[in-house]
Amino acid sequence: MTAPGTFDEPLLELAPCGFATVAYDGPILQINETLLSWTGYSREEVVGLKSFADLVTRAARAYGQTHLRPMLLTAGSVREIALTMVCADGSRLPILLNARLDRDADGHPSVISIAVFDASERRQYEEELLRAKQEAEASEERSRQLARTLQSTLIPSRPPAVPGLQIAAGYRPSGDGEEVGGDFYDVFQIGPGDWVVVLGDVCGKGVDAAVITALVRYSVRAATVDHRSPAAALGVVNRILLEHGTDRFCTLVLLRLQARDGGWDVVSCSAGHPLPVVVRAGAAPEPTGTLGTLLGVLDDPPLTDDTLRLGFGDRLMLYTDGILEARRDGELFGELRLLDALDRHGRGDVAVAVDALLAATMAFQGERADDDIALVVLGPPAD
């Protein structure tokens, strides 16, 4: 005759996993020697007195009521549930649990059979995996932060204040904005009433492209100090790019602005970049200048200086090809739509113009840009 609460089969008593039977909504009916030895309870203090829920953490109890019980009632069994038992001495035992609910002849739930596996090592392994995952996530976040910091050095959040010139800039990164794009712009002063505006696009994305973007940006700053002619300055930038040995090329527009009689004399040079668009009162917006050759490819790229006068109310817009190439169902935004948008929004306040142009481009492509978009609108105050 076996003691109450034991299994008849010696195999079940000493099996290398824990067994128990539990009355539905009631106490433990049977528990095997293995599970008792793992948890440190004696059979007398458990059988008929404690429920299985009394042997697990409160969290596991809550989980059991909200998740396991409904699954047992509906599906009849649960498998490989990770829980934690609380041993007699208060220590904790991670387990995996399988359970089956049996019903009586009337279909009412009667007995739950439970098999328990010691999962201490598995749990440790999982915790290590979890830690590795958390570290990977943290590292990803650091790299995103780095990308944002880098981006902000290439795309200033707003241009500096230039006396006698309204100037506004806008930027939209491609996709979710987590990768550093190749677009950049810069506005800086050479002397009194003597300013440089540059906007460009280095091919590619990511940190490698950002290194070249930074190189171009600072080379432009250095070259424009020695060379008043934008074409000459860009010749220097071209040589620096070739000497660097990168296979990345760059397109950009460089403006040299000289204040005179309340307006500005502008010398512009485009190195393979979409031409600046000038907007004058009473006239349709039109591209201005000569399309030169991109930088970083040819030893002696053809580059041309063009001159232009910006009087009261005139506007000049520089942009990257992310605007022209904004897509909707395979159709491009294109120059015609850009000129039309400028005609309607490009004549008043420069900041309003930038916002309107960005909004028009983003709306066209469903608010998600395939490519970076950068643009600058500038001009003398209207009055």
Partner 1 sequence: MDLVQRHAVTRTGRLGAPAMVLGPGFGCDQDMWRHVAPAFESDHEVVRFDHVGSGQSDVSAYDPEHYDDLQAYADDIVLLSRELGLRDIVLVGHSVAAMMAVLAQRAAPDLFAALVLVGPSACYVDDLETGYVGGFDERDVEELLELLGSNYLGWSRSMAPVIMGNADRPELGQELTDSFCRTDPDVARQFARLTFTSDNRADLPHVSAPTLVLQCTDDTIAPLSAGRYVHDAIPDSTWVHLDAVGHLPHLSSPDETIAAIRSFLDARA
Q: Which residue has 């300055």 as its token pair?
A: 233
Residues near partner 1 (CB under 8 A), total: 29
DSSP track, 312-341: TT-EEEEE-TTTTT-EETTEE-HHHHHHHH
Q: Least Å distance between CB 325 and partner 1?
A: 28
User: CB of 13 within 8 A of CB of 32?
Assistant: yes
1 vs 5, 87, 378, CA distance in Å?
12, 29, 99
Q: Least Å distance between CB 280 and partner 1?
A: 46
Query: How many whole angstroms separate alpha carbon 236 and alpha carbon 239?
Result: 5
Q: Least Å distance between CB 78 and partner 1?
A: 7
- Nearest CB to partner 1, comparing residues 102 and 343: 102
- Nearest CB to partner 1, comparing residues 23 and 190: 23
**Contact positions with partner 1 (CB under 8 A) in 203-262:** none
Write the interaction track for partner 1 spanning residues 23-42; mark x where CB under 8 A is met and - where it is not. --x-----------------
Q: Least Å distance between CB 103 and partner 1?
A: 11
294 vs 50, 109, 160, CA distance in Å?
81, 79, 27
150 vs 16, 155, 207, 213, 248, CA distance in Å?
58, 9, 8, 10, 18
Cβ neighbours of 103 (radius 10 Å) = 13
- Nearest CB to partner 1, comparing residues 47 and 56: 56
**Contact positions with partner 1 (CB under 8 A) in 72-131:** 73-84, 126
Decide if residue 49 touches partner 1 (CB under 8 A): no
Query: How many whole angstroms separate alpha carbon 287 and alpha carbon 21?
Result: 84
- Nearest CB to partner 1, comparing residues 108 and 330: 108
Q: Which residue has 């142009």 as its token pair?
A: 357
- Nearest CB to partner 1, comparing residues 60 and 294: 60
- Nearest CB to partner 1, comparing residues 96 and 190: 96
Residues that bind partner 1 (CB under 8 A): 25, 53, 57-67, 69-71, 73-84, 126
